Chain A
Amino acid sequence: MADPIGRQPVADQIGRQLGLLWGAVSLSLIALSPLASAFAGGLPGCPFKSFTGFACPGCGATRAALALARLDPVHALTHYPLPALAWTLFITGGLVAGWRAWRHLPLPQLPRRLPIWARFGIVGVVLVNWAYSIATGV
């Protein structure tokens, strides 16, 4: 609700700025996706995997982004499920948030407190994804 001189409440202003920022970043990532291979070409491989032979918990994030950039979501999701899902949610969420912020529509607030089941769930998903990466030789 706007105050008498037309300024938005603090939470709305912050939400709108963050929504626009997130949307701009998502759009930029989509616009630059044809150049993803060129950007990723200069990155070194994973030293953890190089020395231990096993994938690290973060392995696959770059390759998932590259697969999504060349519009191959099936490959991304089957080989690197969690990173692919995270990238998809990040881009989609950014587009939705940016659009809602642009239209001055309210944005959902993040909860301050995560239920205990959600915390264990997130840790469990990361561990399962790591095990999957090791098992499939990512």
Chain B
Amino acid sequence: MAEEPFPPAPPSIPPAAEGASTEGAPASPRMPWEERDRLGYADALIETVKLIVTAPSEAFSRLRSDGDVIWPLLFGLFFSWLGQFFNQIWNLIFGQAMRSMLEGVGDLGPFGQLTPTGLIGTVISISIWPFLFAIFILIGAGIYHLCLMLVGATNTSPTGFEGTLKVLCYVQVSNLASVIPIAGGLITMVATLVLTVIGFKEVHRTTTGSAVVAVLIPVTLCCICCVIFLVMVFGGALAAAMSAGG
């Protein structure tokens, strides 16, 4: 099977013509997770995490179009599930306390309807997460890919939808931040956005600007509500602190 590498960014590695055989050429390094048969599953997993955290550009430039999207999906599912597990645990422990604190800020609008999940809700949520992940990742990749096409980021892309999907799978590593209680969710959100931009830039061989715009379109359209909520909560907390101090 002729392997089609996503042409690496020049000048570090010379570009390969699409569909050209890489036989005889020095093998460029691959994402460790794509070499799990050689490295072993545990080592490949750990090395991939290390690479994505320490050198995300290099990590995403190592992705190959090798006809497999299932293993990257399983990689993403593992970390997403881990994040969901910790989120639910923290929610179970701190949920009521957080709600009491936020109620002091003022009217929470529609978010006031949210209640911390109980133990049964937590177990159900963790149990059905793999199914929800498959739905969310596919719809998310579709939306992001449309945005990438809208800004022209895929014009010279050596890959297509597969590259977008793989990036979204590998950025799930950011869910590791969920082990940090309370602030972990926010760190995960920011890390996911940053890694997604870097991933799209490398995989689709586009500019940082195009990748940023493509990532921010759905965030702006769909998460405008979350932004308002955060501004309201932090603004309210700041105002309360200032009035208490003054």
Contact = CB atoms under 8 A, between A and B. Distances in A.
A, B from the same assembly? yes
Q: Chain B's interface: helix, strand, loop or mixed, by majority?
A: helix
Interface of B: 1-4, 65-70, 73, 109-111, 113-114, 131, 134-135, 138-139, 142, 145-146, 149-150, 152, 154-157, 160-162, 165, 221-222, 224-226, 228-229, 232
Contact of B67 (A10, A57, A126): A10
Contacts of A109: 160
Contacts of A10: 1-4, 65-67
B150 A56 contact: no
A56 B218 CA distance: 12
Main secondary structure of the interface of A (DSSP, over half): helix
Contacts, number: 102
Given A45-B110, A51-B228, A113-B152, A17 B68 contact: yes
A48 interface: yes
A58 B66 contact: no
Contacts of B228: 47-48, 51
Contacts of A112: 154-157, 160
A91 B40 CA distance: 38
Contacts of A22: 138
Interface of A: 3, 7-14, 17-18, 21-22, 24-25, 28-29, 42, 44-48, 50-51, 56-58, 90, 109-114, 119, 122-123, 126
